[in-house]
Amino acid sequence: MASEIPKLFGTSGIRGKIGSEITLDVAINVGMAIATYAGGKGSNIVLGYDSRTSNVMIENAVTAGILQCGCNVLKMGMAPTPLVGYATMKLNTDAGIMITASHNPPEYNGIKLWNPDGMAYRQDQERVIEEIIHEKIFKTVSWENIGKIEEVKYVVSDYIKDLLDQADVKPGIKVVVDCANGAASYLSPIILRMAGCSVIAINSQPDGFFPGRLPEPSEKNLQELMKVVKATKADIGIAHDGDADRMIAIDEKGRMADFDKLLAIVSREIGGKVVTTVDASLCTDKCMDEVGGVVIRTKVGDVHVAEAIEENNANFGGEPSGTWIHPNFCMCPDGILSALRVIELVQKYGPLSKQLDEIPSYPTIRDKVTCEDHQKEKIMEKVEEKLHIVLDDVVDVNRIDGVRISMVDGSWVLIRPSGTESFIRITLEATSNDKAYMIRNQCADFIEGLL
C-alpha cells in the first residue's frame, strides 16, 4: 500500500544531511528509479549540480544508477537549477535531475527531479519514484545495454541566447550581483553583463563551504550586498540562493526588497493571469486590480505554482520566497530571468525604492494555537464549516491548503495545522491594525472554543 512506503521527498525534492539522509545508496536508488520511470533503456536524462562539496560524489552515484538501467546521462556539470530545467526541455530529454540543497547550509544536499517540459516532478510522480525504490522494481540491463555519458555543456550558449531574447534591458543600469558562491556564480554576472548592465559581482566563485555568505538569501545573510550596493551607488542589488532558482532584489538605498511587494510590481507589469500561493500578500491582488488582472491562489510550493500556471494558462507565477516561474520561457523557476525582469522595471519606471514604497503595507499576523495532533482533523473540519459565520464580510472560503477565508476588502486569514508540531497556525493579513487583531482574536477564540 502506498501509505506504507517510506517518504523520501519533502516539499522540494529529496533534502537532508550528507551521510545520514543523503547517502550513496539513496543516490544510486534514485538514479535507477528515475531511469526506470523515464522509460528505461535508451532514455536520456540531464544531470547537473550546484557548488556543494558532496556534489561530484552524489553525481557519480546517481550516474551509476542511471547507466545500470540502460539510460544515457547528459552531463551538465555545475549549473544553476534553471539551466538544468531548461536543458531538460531544450534537449528533448526524458527527465532532468538537479543535485542541490538550494538555500540549506553546506552540510546538506538534495536531489530534485524535472519533467521533459522543465516542470518539477509533481507529488504523484514522486510517490511513484518512492514506490519503485521501495519495491526495488528497477529495469536494470545486461552488460551490452549499459547507458552512455554525454557532455552537454554546449546547451549553455542556447540558454544565454534564449534568456537574452526574453529580456528588454538597455545599457546603463548598474547592478551588484551576489551569487552566494553558488551554482550561478559563473553565469548570472555574465548574463547580466551581456544584457547591457554594468555589473559588480560578489561571492561569485563557486565554493561548497559558502565562505562569502550562507546560501539562504535572508536579510541577515545579505548585509554585505546591501553595503556594496550603497557604497558603489548601484541602481540595484541581486541576490541568488545556492542554486539560483530564486532571487531577491536590494533597492538603490541598500534596503532588501519586501518579497511580496517585489512579486506584486512584477506581476502588475506582466498582467493577465498570475498564480501565487495562499500565504502571499494581498498587495499582489491590489496591484493586479490596477491593470484588470487576475490572481489565482494555490498551495505553497513551486511545483503547485507551476501546475496552476499550466491549468489556467497563466502568464506568470511566483511564491513570495522569490521563486518565480516564467512560463513563456520554461516551467522551471529561474532566478536569473527574474532578476532581468526586475532590472527592466528599474529601467522603465526609475528607482526601485520608489516603486516598492508606493505599494501599501498591510498588517500581518502569524500566530498559533496549541492543538494535539489527534484533534487537528476535527478542528479543521469545524473551521471550514463554521468559522466564516464568526467573521464579517466573508466572500470566499477555500481549502486549497488549510482553510483560507477572504473578506470583501481583501483581508484574509489562513488556518493550517502544523505538519511537524502540535499547533494550528493562524496567518492573516488585513487592511488595518484593528481589523488584524479583531480577526486574530475571533479565529483564536473559535479554535480554542473547540478544544
- Is residue 245 close enough to count as binding Mg ion by CB under 5 A? yes
| Choices 63-71, 237-245, 268-276, 354-362 (CB under 5 A): range interacting with Mg ion | 237-245
Looking at beta carbons only, is 245 or 334 nearer to Mg ion?
245
102 annotated active-site: yes
Residues 86-145 that bind Mg ion (CB under 5 A): 102
Nearer to Mg ion, 68 or 181 (CB): 181
Is residue 252 a contact residue for Mg ion (CB under 5 A)?
A: no
Nearest residue (CB) to Mg ion, 109 versus 355: 109
Residues in the chain: 451
Catalytic entry in 102, 185, 321, 338: 102
Number of residues that bind Mg ion (CB under 5 A): 5
Q: How far is the CB of 208 from Mg ion (least distance, A)?
A: 15
Span of 46-54, 176-184, 246-254, 294-302 interacting with Mg ion by CB under 5 A? 246-254
Kindly tell me which of 12 and 284 has the beta carbon lying closer to Mg ion: 12
251 touching Mg ion, by CB under 5 A: no
Is the Cβ of residue 246 or residue 388 nearer to Mg ion in the bound state?
246
C-alpha 267/C-alpha 251 separation (Å) is: 18
Q: Is 243 in the site for Mg ion (CB under 5 A)?
A: yes
Please list every residue from 379 through 418 that binds Mg ion, using CB under 5 A.
Answer: none
Closest CA to 424 of 441, 448, 407, 400: 448
Told to check if 50 binds Mg ion by CB under 5 A, we report: no
Closest separation between CB of residue 183 and Mg ion, Å? Answer: 9
Q: Which is nearer to Mg ion, 130 or 302 (CB)?
A: 302
Does residue 59 interact with Mg ion by CB under 5 A? no
Q: Taking CB under 5 A as the rule, does residue 285 contact Mg ion?
A: no
Among 59, 178, 241, 334, binds Mg ion (CB under 5 A): 241
Q: d(Cα 203, Cα 213) in Å, to the nearest integer?
A: 8
| Residue linked to cell 498564480 | 275
Which window, 43-51, 144-152, 204-212, 245-253, contacts Mg ion (CB under 5 A)?
A: 245-253
Q: Can you give the binding site for Mg ion, defined by CB under 5 A?
A: 102, 241, 243, 245-246
Task: List the catalytic residues.
Answer: 102
